[in-house]
Chains A and B, each alone.
Chain A
Amino acid sequence: MTATETGRRSAASLAGRARVLLFATARTAVGTRSLPWPVPGDGMTVRELVADLARAHPRVAPILAHCRFFHDGVPVTQLDERVRPGEELAIHPPYGGG
């Protein structure tokens, strides 16, 4: 299989799935740092995705209320933004650097 074919297969496997990245307490509550997340072809809003995540992983639900969200590395300012297949939503609990 050529590199191009491998790349095509990887891209195809992403179709219909976004990736959820979890950090700190959110990661501990869910038990993994990265989750593939099924989304319709036209995507779903950040609000819908976060609500689904809370239903699927009830331990993370109380943490989500205090989190910020980053969509493909950019801060989410509107929860109505749509996350589409192949994109990434990062979940940031309150920061604790320094």
Chain B
Amino acid sequence: MSARLSVRPLSLTAAFRELGDPTLGGVVVFAGRVRADPTPRGSVTALVYEAHRGPAVQALQDLEAEARRRFGAGRTVAWHRVGRVRVGEVAVIVGAACGHRTEAFAATRFLIDRLKRTVPVWKEARERPARRPRPRRSRRPSRSSD
């Protein structure tokens, strides 16, 4: 099991490595990235995540244990960023390695859906105001030579 809150960037390669086991053929990894959603005043540039660390890590571990029990996942990861995460960066990675793909997909879906509801993590958007188009300068009327 691998439950983690991290202030550092999350690595899909590291997650895939964590799920490595030659007896487990179905591996699914899900990554959630920060989107540049539009806001009333502009667009999102980053999300700032905060967590209640002890209960959050415990909740991630509980989730993994539940995924293993329900879906027979042999290995799992449940990682979440904390702090400022810019648009395009990975905020969350969950994954499961199972004997076959059906259980791996189901376990991974369970992990991300349940994580959003049960892990004490919160986010606050940082946004950039939309640029106003510069007013066009009216061209001076050209002097006519005639």
Contacts and interface: CB of A to CB of B under 8 A. Distances in A.
A24 B124 CA distance: 8
Interface residues of B, number: 22
B121 A95 contact: yes
A70 interface: yes
Contacts of B92: 97-98
Nearest to A74: B55
Interface residues of A, number: 13
B124 A95 contact: no
Contacts of A90: 52, 55
A21 B120 CA distance: 13
B12 interface: no
Interface string B46-87: 000111101100100000000000000000000010000000
Given A23-B50, A24-B50, A96 B55 contact: no
B55 A98 contact: no
Contacts of A38: none
Interface in A17-41: 21, 23-24
A85 to B, nearest CB: 21
A90 B54 CA distance: 11
B123 interface: yes
Given A23-B120, A23-B122, A97 B49 contact: yes
Interface in A42-98: 70, 73, 75, 90, 92-93, 95-98
